[in-house]
Amino acid sequence: MIVCPACQHRNPEGAEVCEACGASLEGFAYRVCPKCGALNPAENLFCHRCLERLAGATSAKGEQPPATEEAEKVLAEVEEEEGTLPPFLVEQVEEAEGAPPVAEEPAPSEEEFPEALPPFIEVEEEEEEPVSEVEGPGGGETLEAVQAEAPAVPSEEREEKEEELPQVVVNPLAGVEDVLPLEAGISLPHRAEPLPTEGPTEKERADADLLRRIAEEGPPLQEAPRKAEEKGVRRLSGSGRALIYLLVLLAAVIPFFTGGQTARWVSPRRSVGVFADVMSRLPVHTPVLVSFDYSPAYGEELDPLARAVVQQLAARSVPMVVMSTKPEGIGIAEKVCTAVAQEMDNYRYGEHYAVLGYLPGEEAGLRTLRKGLADAFREDYVRHRPLSEIPVVSGIASVTDLEHIIVLSDESGIVRRWIEQVRRENTVLLHALVSARIEPTLIPYAQAGQLETLIGGAYGAAEYERATGMRGAAAQTVDADAVLFLVMLLIAVVTNVVLISGDKGRSPRR
């Protein structure tokens, strides 16, 4: 069976065009497992979930289509590599890579990064949000080049769709894969790449054959514990979910009624204090580069921090050069800078600050920036003038001439690129002000001294406001965090009470 990527109609094996919508199935993305219903990549010989041999891949030896041999090799390699993973991670890799519901529900894709970018970059995209590389909604050749980013929403749809399928949950992270930036760390080293089309060697054929036999035998040793675990998983009912949503909503509106009662306890951590101190001592003749590498998705979290930093720089007339490596980032940068400049008449565009624009190319873009500012930006974003005509930038040949770079980001991959491509062995000090979601992933860089500063999230903004003595909005909303903690605590208690009562209920029957 072949699922039409355009309309999700399930077509019989061998169909070339979709029976329902007529779309070409030449570039179909997934096959449905006849046994468990899971969706599998077209080249899979066996179902990733139940190891059933997939229809269409069962042609007799010698009649295999050219792609099948290749697929066998891919399978062999995937299995071989996954064999090196502990079972609980294998599960996770399967869940992350299989990601069937995304394929079932090809949301209108935000096709921002066509395959022009290497696969590891795509994976880094995956790290941030539930992203899956699927063929575009219309299928076909033209869409191969498209990486579809499922917006935040399908994660929930995915959760719902998963419920229709046999579930095997064997790791404690079940359920949070969609919301944590884990995939890259787990799946990247084991990502299967398409292999060269040259025929497989004898050894590879033998390995593939061995693997097929093992796969067909099934994993008896793992079956029993898996089934036992399945019993322990009780899905959240509709009303339970509604209750959780309601509690979260209530927690979020708390600050409107309490007015920031807990804000008086906000006390800046050492790292925030040190950063505020560094900002307050910057020489007024050395420009600072600020890169707005976040999208409006996390604007509500990072805008207060960005505004506080820009305000502090502007208040002291410290020259500032602004850019972004995300298209959306430059819109935010302009908005924040304009708002601050309007508040402070003596902080003028061109003389004190300049918005250079958007720099594409990821690694290549940052490498260009390192080589020469004028190579990366041929003109500024606001006035469209060559950089040599903008006083605040004219003295800067390369970013390595700068002393401080501030990166505001919602993707750990972006901060990593700044460290790898720009900072390297340089003396330039890199300050990362990031979304709380990615803060832990960057801790090793901060510990190793590769990041001078690492400040996370809205609470970082509240601490920064306190450290600089500014009156900002961030501190006024911290009350809600206490309620969020209570909600999470309640969830933890309830889920375990349900788990224990479920176990007790079952135990007499054992």
Partner 1 sequence: MKRFLPVTAAVACGGLALLDFFFDSPHIDAAGTILVEGVTILAAFALLLGLLNILAVHLRRVASGGGDRGASLVLVLALLITTALGISMPDSPGIDWVFGYIYSPLQSTMTALLAFFVASAAYRAFKIRDAAAAILLISSLFVLFAQLPFSASLSPYIPSLRHWVFKVPVTASMRGLLFGIALGTITTSLRILLAVDKPYARSQEPR
Partner 2 sequence: MQTIVNVLADLPPAAVEMVGMWVAALLTLAVLSFILGDNPLFRLAEYLFVGVAAGYAASLAWSNVLWPRLRLLVTEPGAYWYYGVFFALGILLLARGVKPLSFLGDLPLGVLFGTGAALALGGVITGTLLPQLRASFLSVSPSDYGEGVLGWACAIDALLIVLGTIAVVVVFHFSAPEDPKSRSWGYWLLNLFQGVGRKVMMVGFGALLAGAAFSFFAVLKGRLAFLCDWITHVVDVGL
Residues 183-242 binding partner 2 (CB under 8 A) are 186, 189
Virtual CA dihedral for 49, 70, 12, 135, nearest 10 degrees? Answer: 80
For tokens 């990733």, name the residue: 48
**Looking at beta carbons only, is 52 or 293 nearer to partner 1?**
293
287 contributes a contact to partner 2 by CB under 8 A: no
Of these, 50, 55, 266, 315, which contacts partner 1 (CB under 8 A)?
A: 266
**Binding partner selected for residue 497 from partner 1, partner 2, none, CB under the kind-specific 5 to 8 Å limit:** none
CB 11, min distance to partner 1, A: 16
Closest CA to 107 of 135, 137, 133, 129: 137
DSSP 402: -
**Binding partner selected for residue 38 from partner 1, partner 2, none, CB under the kind-specific 5 to 8 Å limit:** none
**Looking at beta carbons only, is 92 or 288 nearer to partner 1?**
92
Residues 374 to 413 in contact with partner 1, rule: CB under 8 A: 375-376, 382, 384
Q: For residues 126 and 103, what is the distance between their CA atoms, to the nearest angstrom?
A: 15
**Looking at beta carbons only, is 227 or 264 nearer to partner 1?**
264
Residues 96 to 125 in contact with partner 1, rule: CB under 8 A: 108-109, 111-120, 123
Residues 319 to 358 in contact with partner 2, rule: CB under 8 A: 327-328, 330-331, 357-358
CB 148, CB 106: distance < 8 Å: yes
Of these, 65, 118, 218, 225, which contacts partner 2 (CB under 8 A)?
A: 118
Residues 364 to 423 in contact with partner 2, rule: CB under 8 A: 364, 367, 378-379, 381, 384, 416-417, 419-421, 423
Tell me the two tokens of residue 188.
């990247």
CB 157, CB 132: distance < 8 Å: no
245 contributes a contact to partner 2 by CB under 8 A: yes
Q: For residues 81 and 63, what is the distance between their CA atoms, to the nearest angstrom?
A: 28
CB 152, min distance to partner 2, A: 9
Residues whose CB is less than 8 angstroms from the CB of residue 159 and which lie 6 or more positions away in sequence, other chains included = 175, 178
CB 294, CB 329: distance < 8 Å: yes
Query: Which amino acid, 142?
Result: T
The 10 Å Cβ neighbour count of residue 198 is 7
Query: Which amino acid, 89?
Result: L
**Looking at beta carbons only, is 116 or 284 nearer to partner 2?**
116
Q: For residues 265 and 202, what is the distance between their CA atoms, to the nearest angstrom?
A: 69
Of these, 332, 457, 467, 468, which contacts partner 2 (CB under 8 A)?
A: 457
Tell me the two tokens of residue 280.
């307050």
CB 419, CB 301: distance < 8 Å: no
Residues 293 to 332 in contact with partner 1, rule: CB under 8 A: 295-300, 327-328, 331
CB 471, min distance to partner 1, A: 16
Q: Is the dihedral of CA 128, 134, 137, 140 positive or negative?
A: positive
299 contributes a contact to partner 2 by CB under 8 A: yes
Longest dimension (CA), the chain: 82
Of these, 456, 464, 465, 468, which contacts partner 2 (CB under 8 A)?
A: 456
Residues whose CB is less than 8 angstroms from the CB of residue 322 and which lie 6 or more positions away in sequence, other chains included = 289, 290, 291, 292, 333, 337, 353, 354, 355, 356
Stretch that binds partner 1, among 211-219, 231-239, 313-321, 347-355 (CB under 8 A): 231-239
Stretch that binds partner 2, among 36-44, 48-56, 276-284, 297-305 (CB under 8 A): 297-305
Of these, 1, 7, 55, 344, which contacts partner 1 (CB under 8 A)?
A: 7
Of these, 10, 12, 145, 339, which contacts partner 1 (CB under 8 A)?
A: 145
CB 419, CB 451: distance < 8 Å: yes
CB 412, min distance to partner 2, A: 10
Stretch that binds partner 2, among 41-49, 276-284, 388-396, 448-456 (CB under 8 A): 448-456
